Copies of this chain bind each other. A is one copy, B any other.
């Protein structure tokens, strides 16, 4: 049996980087209005301009003490700066502080270093995975996806192959499909995978998940499935890899930067899971009639409240 090999080529371009926020012109206002201020008021204005965040945490009394003035003076200053009262100045101050905070561009574009503080690690990882999602979504061929969904929705049975980190993705897909009543199985044992692949026939679906696109243990069962006439799908980061030879539909995941502290296995997984989710939702839509009860059931199960004791005052 001779079957054609499809190819997809696309390099995703992710979302843009948000522009730096416009700075509130409070400092300028202070400088402009300083001449028309009395000495005490200037002290207050200066304190406010110097440390918005800190002052935002203070009450009128607090700020008055800090600047060695009185509450009345603080309120007068707030008025002079254009606010109805101190309360509003304080609100504006909080906003300013937040802007300044977010304005500090965390160097997330750089790679993760060994001595990065943990907060940076979190930010960088999150940013990176977001990027991977954006890229994968942008680069995903919806035609291929729709085709894969159709095949899955009408499949007699579905086998999913994946080893290592991709094995977990395969299992994730399987779990989801089972939940909506499809017959699916994940294989991470190459031998068993091939053994089972032999049982496949036209109308069945075989899916291979591999980031590198050249994992023999996964390609082999897909090849067998392909030759048995099953509809084959490849979820891979390398649309030009060997695995696509035997894939009717290729779903490409984005390949993010990798490095020592950011192994490929990590970022690839994110994109693969997005694809898996898309497949799942697509199939759920198609088989909504039969899937709805199961979906509702699992939704209910989690919606049910496990009430816990409330806090004491």
Residues on A close to B: CB < 8 A?
A: 8-9, 15, 18-19, 21-24, 35-36, 56-57, 79-80, 90-92, 94-99, 101-105, 112, 114-116, 118-119, 121-123, 125-126, 129-130, 133-134, 136-137, 140, 142, 145-146, 149, 164-165, 168, 171-172, 175-176, 179, 211-214, 216, 219-220, 223, 238, 240-242, 245, 258-266, 269-270, 273-274, 277-278, 280-282, 284-285, 288, 292, 295-296, 298-299, 302, 305-312
- Tell me whether B133 and A242 are in contact (CB under 8 A): no
A80-B311, A126-B136 known, 15 other contacts, Cβ within 8 Å = A9-B310, A21-B99, A22-B102, A79-B311, A91-B94, A95-B101, A116-B285, A118-B142, A118-B149, A121-B285, A211-B302, A219-B312, A238-B305, A261-B281, A262-B281
Tell me the complex Cα distance, A24–B101, Å.
10
| A285 with B95, Cβ < 8 A, contacts A9-B308, A21-B103, A126-B134 known | no
Q: A19 contacts which of B103, B298, B299 (Cβ < 8 Å)? A: B103
Tell me the complex Cα distance, A214–B310, Å.
9
Q: Which B residues are in CB contact (< 8 Å) with A260?
A: 292, 295-296, 299
| A98 with B24, Cβ < 8 A, contacts A114-B285, A175-B165 known | yes
Q: A309 contacts which of B8, B97, B130 (Cβ < 8 Å)? A: B8
What are 26 A-B pairs at a CB distance below 8 A?
A8-B309, A9-B309, A18-B105, A19-B103, A90-B91, A94-B98, A95-B95, A98-B98, A114-B288, A118-B149, A118-B282, A122-B145, A125-B277, A126-B136, A129-B133, A129-B270, A129-B274, A165-B175, A168-B168, A168-B171, A168-B175, A214-B307, A242-B311, A266-B277, A266-B280, A270-B270
Q: Which B residues are in CB contact (< 8 Å) with A92?
A: 94
Tell me the complex Cα distance, A140–B23, Å.
28
CB distance from A30 to the nearest CB of B (A): 17
CB distance from A162 to the nearest CB of B (A): 11
Tell me the complex Cα distance, A136–B129, Å.
12
| A102 with B105, Cβ < 8 A, contacts A220-B312, A305-B35, A306-B242 known | no
CB distance from A289 to the nearest CB of B (A): 10
Complex A-B, nearest 7 residue pairs according to Cβ-Cβ distance, in ascending order = A21-B102, A95-B98, A126-B137, A242-B309, A214-B306, A9-B311, A94-B94
Nearest B residue (CB) for A169: B168
- Tell me whether B118 and A146 are in contact (CB under 8 A): yes
Q: Which B residues are in CB contact (< 8 Å) with A97?
A: 95
Tell me the complex Cα distance, A121–B281, Å.
8
Tell me the complex Cα distance, A277–B15, Å.
22
Tell me the complex Cα distance, A8–B98, Å.
32
Q: A134 contacts which of B118, B130, B299 (Cβ < 8 Å)? A: B130
Most buried by B among A21, A22, A95, A282: A95
- Tell me whether B98 and A302 are in contact (CB under 8 A): no
Tell me the complex Cα distance, A91–B57, Å.
9
Q: Which B residues are in CB contact (< 8 Å) with A220?
A: 312
